[in-house]
Structure formats: structure tokens, C-alpha cells
């Protein structure tokens, strides 16, 4: 065949990271072509781009949410104490119809909780009383179904806490068990209500006092404790979008925006350990997965244990609504870009491709 394969170099080649994705043929671009900041220049479709990547940049301001902020944006609610001393966390959640940009220039008519997809990451401590005032500002009936322990009345399914447009419902239950959970709309048709964007993370930190034999592990999970402070925690909701409604996803991502953490890698301090709250809500595909490059992690399925359910793995798969906690460290690694992505290559190539930017700080 003819001489293969000349990728014309362009100064505005999006990003130093961009070269990584295409494999060895473009690796050479990675060296010396890098802009100094991780933030890459906004570009238009008329510009020359190279490699296997979506073209352009998503307008986060227009969307009203930034995938980088979603990583660590814990919604802890308004905290008070009930007469018996139990902590009460009150949340206000509103469902609304909203068009969101899920890849540069591609818009999806989403249904959202609090105007974002995924919805706010609700974070509580084991045993807290949770009270959620749910207002349905959308055009269809919606609900909030929590994965947790609660009475039937609070299940958020048709007949128990589903809310017609304009309606209000208050969900109330105690936060059990501790772990990495989720909530989603359970109105019918279920598939559409989920894939349109009605889901979010629900993280219940363990209460160290309830686990005296593993108090240290519990404290490291407890947001606000000094043991927790050294951890770098991120929430990753694996999702997809079927933009042409043929029951196959055109876009795959973590936290909705295709290639968001590839074009702008997640900065990580090499010295501090990482904890990922990983949740799969992908519709239409039986499983989704995460593969971490050049490293191995301990995995806590559902996050409901304080000892790992899997040790020393670099790939984990989850069916829809399955979730878990990943713990690992880059302390022995040299600084640089470390990939993580779905190891269904299809999903990776359709947007679920990310990088950690491991730095010396």
C-alpha cells in the first residue's frame, strides 16, 4: 500500500493528551506539542483536528454544570437535629426538562434533577434521617427511587411517591446501609425515564461508632473527618445518551460529557490516595466497566463493606445500577497522564475515555 499514515500536525492540536488516544501512530504528537495548560483552546469545526476525538468544546456555562465540579460536588443538605438527637438532612430536589450539551455541538432533550445530569450527589452519614422535598417541575410524572433501606411508602415507584407534573412529595427515611448508592426516577416507562437523565449518586458514609472493630477504615470514608481529608474522592456516574432514539447510545461518558476528562484530565496529587465512587446507570447495554491504566485497585462492591470485596484488580464491570468504591494510589508512579476508560472499546471510542493528570504537589 501507499505510505501510511501522515497526520498533519497543527499548532492547535487540542491537547497534549489528545495524541494518546489514537495509539502508537499518533504517540509522537504527544511530545513537545503540548500546550502548557490542561485547559485546551476552544475550537470550531472548521479547524483542523486530528485523532479519535469529538471536535470542539462543550459550553459548561450554558449547561449550568461542569463535569469537573460534579466530581467532588457533595450535596450534604441542610443539617439539624431531631428531638431524639438524630441528625436530620433536608434536601430540595426539583425535576425539570432541560436541553443539555452532551458532546460538543450535540444537544439532548434531558430530564434532570436540579438542572444537571447526573443529579446532585447526595451525601449523608449512616443513620442520618433523610428528608427530601421533591418538586416535579417537569412535563411528565417523575419520582425518586433510592437504593437503600426504606419503607414501601417511600419507594418512589408508581403508587408510592410518584409525582405528577407540578406535584410535590417528601421522601423520608434513615440512611442505611452505608455504601455507594444511587437514586433514579422509577416512573414508567422506566427505560426512558432513566436514560433521559433522572439519576444521581447517593453516598452514605459509615459511622465509625457503629463499627468499632474497623473504626479507622470507617473514619477514612467519613467526609469531614481528618482521616478522610487526605483522600482524593471523586464520584463517577457512567452513563450514555441515545440521541436518535434507536435504543442504542450515540454517546458514552462518565458524568455525561463525552471526553470531558480526556480533554481536561483530572488533576491528582501523587502523594495522596484516591477513592472513586463508581456508579453505572448506562441504559440499553447490559454492562459498563472501568479499566485503570498502569495501576491496580481494591474494590468494594456496593461500598457496603469496610474490607475490599476484590483486591488487586485493574478492571471492574458493573451491570446497570451496580456500583462500588475503588481505592488506589499513584504514590509509587512517576507523574504523567494515566488513562481510565470503559474496557468495552466501543464505549471508550464513543466518549467514555478519561485521564488522571498525576502531579507532584
Site for other proteins, rule CB under 8 A: 1-8, 25, 44-56, 103-108, 241, 243-244, 246, 250, 258-259, 346, 349-351
- Least Cβ distance, residue 145 to other proteins (angstroms): 27
- Dihedral sign of CA atoms 254, 76, 152, 119 in order: negative
Between residues 150 and 264, which has the closer beta carbon with respect to other proteins?
264
Between residues 26 and 71, which has the closer beta carbon with respect to other proteins?
26
Given a contact cutoff of 8 angstroms between Cβ atoms, the answer to whether 47 and 56 are in contact is no
- Least Cβ distance, residue 342 to other proteins (angstroms): 13
Phi and psi torsions of 69, nearest 5°:
-75, -35
Three-state SS for 332-343 is CCCCEEEEEECC
CA distances from 284 to 110, 157, 263 (A): 16, 21, 26
Between residues 65 and 262, which has the closer beta carbon with respect to other proteins?
262
Euclidean distance between CA atoms 19 and 339, whole angstroms: 12
CA distances from 243 to 100, 225, 300 (A): 11, 42, 33
- Least Cβ distance, residue 40 to other proteins (angstroms): 13
- Least Cβ distance, residue 43 to other proteins (angstroms): 10
Between residues 52 and 312, which has the closer beta carbon with respect to other proteins?
52
In the chain, DSSP finds a helix count (H) and a strand count (E) of 9, 23
- For residue 278, the cross-strand partners are 236, 324
Given a contact cutoff of 8 angstroms between Cβ atoms, the answer to whether 106 and 147 are in contact is no
Give the SS3 label for residue 298: strand
Euclidean distance between CA atoms 151 and 86, whole angstroms: 18
- For the chain, first and last CA: distance in Å? 48
- Least Cβ distance, residue 26 to other proteins (angstroms): 9
Given a contact cutoff of 8 angstroms between Cβ atoms, the answer to whether 53 and 14 are in contact is yes
- Least Cβ distance, residue 288 to other proteins (angstroms): 16
Given a contact cutoff of 8 angstroms between Cβ atoms, the answer to whether 160 and 154 are in contact is yes
- Least Cβ distance, residue 51 to other proteins (angstroms): 6
Between residues 120 and 138, which has the closer beta carbon with respect to other proteins?
138
Q: Which three cell numbers stand for residue 162?
A: 410518584
Between residues 246 and 334, which has the closer beta carbon with respect to other proteins?
246
Between residues 138 and 351, which has the closer beta carbon with respect to other proteins?
351
Phi and psi torsions of 173, nearest 5°:
-165, 170
Phi and psi torsions of 53, nearest 5°:
-160, 155
- Least Cβ distance, residue 346 to other proteins (angstroms): 6
- Least Cβ distance, residue 251 to other proteins (angstroms): 8
Euclidean distance between CA atoms 18 and 49, whole angstroms: 10
Between residues 244 and 307, which has the closer beta carbon with respect to other proteins?
244
Phi and psi torsions of 257, nearest 5°:
-95, 115
Between residues 113 and 347, which has the closer beta carbon with respect to other proteins?
347
- Least Cβ distance, residue 211 to other proteins (angstroms): 45
Between residues 52 and 229, which has the closer beta carbon with respect to other proteins?
52
Amino acid at each position: 500500500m501507499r505510505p501510511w499514515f501522515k497526520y498533519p500536525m497543527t499548532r492547535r492540536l487540542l491537547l497534549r493528551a489528545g495524541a494518546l488516544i489514537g495509539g502508537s501512530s499518533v504517540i509522537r504528537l504527544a511530545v513537545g506539542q503540548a500546550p502548557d495548560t490542561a485547559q485546551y483552546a476552544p475550537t470550531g469545526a472548521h479547524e483542523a483536528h486530528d485523532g479519535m476525538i469529538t471536535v470542539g468544546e462543550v459550553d459548561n456555562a450554558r449547561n449550568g454544570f461542569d463535569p469537573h465540579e460534579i466530581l467532588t460536588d457533595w450535596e450534604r443538605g441542610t443539617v439539624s437535629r431531631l428531638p431524639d438527637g438524630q441528625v436530620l438532612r433536608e434536601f430540595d430536589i426539583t425535576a425539570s426538562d432541560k436541553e443539555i450539551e452532551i458532546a460538543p455541538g450535540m444537544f439532548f432533550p434531558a430530564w434532570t434533577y436540579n438542572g444537571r445530569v447526573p443529579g446532585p450527589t447526595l451525601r449523608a452519614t449512616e443513620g442520618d434521617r433523610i428528608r427530601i422535598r421533591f418538586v416535579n417541575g417537569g412535563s411528565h410524572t417523575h419520582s425518586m427511587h433510592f437504593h437503600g433501606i426504606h419503607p414501601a411508602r417511600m419507594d418512589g415507584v408508581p403508587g408510592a411517591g410518584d409525582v405528577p407534573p407540578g406535584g410535590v412529595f417528601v421522601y423520608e427515611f434513615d440512611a442505611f446501609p452505608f455504601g455507594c448508592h444511587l437514586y433514579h426516577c422509577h416512573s414508567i416507562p422506566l427505560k426512558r425515564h432513566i436514560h433521559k437523565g433522572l439519576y444521581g449518586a447517593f453516598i452514605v458514609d459509615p459511622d465509625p461508632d457503629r463499627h468499632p472493630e474497623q473504626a479507622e477504615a470507617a473514619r477514612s470514608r467519613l467526609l469531614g473527618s481528618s482521616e478522610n481529608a487526605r483522600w482524593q474522592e471523586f464520584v463517577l456516574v457512567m452513563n450514555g445518551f441515545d440521541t436518535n432514539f434507536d435504543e442504542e447510545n450515540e454517546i458514552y461518558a462518565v458524568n455525561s460529557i463525552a471526553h470531558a476528562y480526556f480533554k481536561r484530565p483530572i488533576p491528582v496529587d501523587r502523594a495522596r490516595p484516591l477513592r472513586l465512587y463508581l456508579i453505572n446507570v448506562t441504559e440499553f447495554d447490559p454492562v459498563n466497566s472501568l479499566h485503570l491504566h498502569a495501576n491496580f485497585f481494591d474494590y468494594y462492591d456496593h461500598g457496603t463493606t469496610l474490607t475490599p470485596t476484590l483486591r488487586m484488580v485493574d478492571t471492574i464491570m458493573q451491570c446497570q445500577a451496580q456500583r462500588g468504591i475503588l481505592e488506589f494510589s499513584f504514590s509509587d508512579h512517576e507523574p504523567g497522564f494515566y488513562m481510565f476508560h470503559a474496557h468495552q472499546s466501543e464505549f471508550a471510542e464513543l466518549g467514555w475515555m478519561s485521564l488522571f493528570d498525576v502531579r507532584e504537589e
